[in-house]
Amino acid sequence: MRVTLLGTGCPQVSTDRYGPANLLRWGDRQFLIDCGSGVTQRLLGASSAGKLIDAVLLTHLHSDHIIDLFQLIISSWHQGRDRPQRIYGPVGTRQYLKGLMALWQPELAQRIAHEKRPSTIALDLDITEVEPGAIIHDGDLTVIAVPVRHQPVKAAFGYVFTDGRRKVAFSGDTAFCPELIQAAKDADALVHECFIHREMLALPGRSPETLANVASYHTLSTEVGKVANQAHVGCLILNHFVPVIFDRTALLADIRADYAGPVLIGEDLMDFDTATRTISHAGGVIALPQS
Ligand SMILES: [Zn+2]
Ligand SMILES: [Zn+2]
């Protein structure tokens, strides 16, 4: 099982940290978790492409997680995708996609008629609105949807991939979530969001009230080490940094207060292979001790 961080940022615009998205590869299967800004470019950077994705899993319908979903659908078609796009997401996903495709229908109709590409099957959407529990069975692989705490967002999920040997958990967006800790127990890797409160305090134009509201539905940098410790994960991979620029040493100190295991401060296109326990990024490779 191999995780590639495609976008480690948040709604804040950054040339280094694109919008939230992750790729999970299992054998020849490829699962895309969220479609933040720049996801299609990052997929190519990870030697993948929209046309190769077996399923898209949306954690929730906040704009930063779905803003490039249409771009993914269209670029997959242009890449010659030969099957419908399978999309899993919370309740509301079907209505969102219906509206999204309707909005673009005139442009699409004209393009289809004019360009006469061999197939439009890539524009067909196979949509599943997710309930808690197992949502995908594929050979030994099971994908479990875990309701997380992102209120006032009504439906938000983390996703756990397991094949009986390896296990990877994605938090999605959540405040400290005991249910996620339970679901991620003993995972080889936990990919978790991270809200760095001290850095936000320094940003101009953010009142204490707006900061408190945003902090309330995310996991603070001083909490995420507790999550990793209680879940007893083999590796903590941080992503979805709010804000996108921060003091890495101070962040590590926050984590180390609670969690002694391997910690990755995620970067776009960083890759973790659970089988070899290697981390690859920008041409470098690090091997972690076997767990
Ligand atoms: Zn969110
Ligand atoms: Zn988010």
Segment 246-276, tens digit of pLDDT: 999 999 999 999 999 999 999 999 999 999 9
Both tokens assigned to 79 = 């890449």
Task: Note the pLDDT of residue 207.
Answer: 84
Task: Note the pLDDT of residue 206.
Answer: 79
- Give dist(CA 14, CA 2) in Å, integer: 25
Task: Note the pLDDT of residue 64.
Answer: 98
Task: Note the pLDDT of residue 91.
Answer: 98
Q: Which candidate in 34, 64, 173, 273 is catalytic?
A: 64
- Sketch out the chain's domains with CATH numbers: 2-281 (3.60.15.10)
User: Quick check: is 247 catalytic?
Assistant: no
Instruction: For residue 153, give the ligand nearest its CA.
Output: 1
Question: How many angstroms separate the alpha carbon of residue 43 from the centre of ligand 1?
Answer: 22
- Give dist(CA 87, CA 69) in Å, integer: 10
Question: How many angstroms separate the alpha carbon of residue 119 from the centre of ligand 1?
Answer: 35
Question: Which residues of the chain fall short of a pLDDT of 70?
Answer: 291
Task: Note the pLDDT of residue 204.
Answer: 78
- What is the residue whose two structure tokens read 């040339």? 15
Both tokens assigned to 85 = 């796009």
Both tokens assigned to 214 = 């945003």
Instruction: For residue 60, give the ligand nearest its CA.
Output: 1
Question: How many angstroms separate the alpha carbon of residue 173 from the centre of ligand 2?
Answer: 6
Instruction: For residue 175, give the ligand nearest its CA.
Output: 1
Question: How many angstroms separate the alpha carbon of residue 34 from the centre of ligand 2?
Answer: 10
**pTM as predicted:** 0.97
The bridge status of strand 125-129 relative to strand 133-138 is unpaired
Instruction: For residue 7, give the ligand nearest its CA.
Output: 2
Question: How many angstroms separate the alpha carbon of residue 150 from the centre of ligand 1?
Answer: 7
Instruction: For residue 67, give the ligand nearest its CA.
Output: 2
Contact 254, 222 (CB under 8 A): yes
Buried b (16+ CB within 10 A) or exposed e, 194-204: bbbbebbeeee
Closest CA to 238 of 215, 270, 265, 267: 265
Question: How many angstroms separate the alpha carbon of residue 60 from the centre of ligand 2?
Answer: 8
Contact 19, 59 (CB under 8 A): no
Question: How many angstroms separate the alpha carbon of residue 291 from the centre of ligand 1?
Answer: 32
Task: Note the pLDDT of residue 219.
Answer: 97
Question: How many angstroms separate the alpha carbon of residue 20 from the centre of ligand 2?
Answer: 7
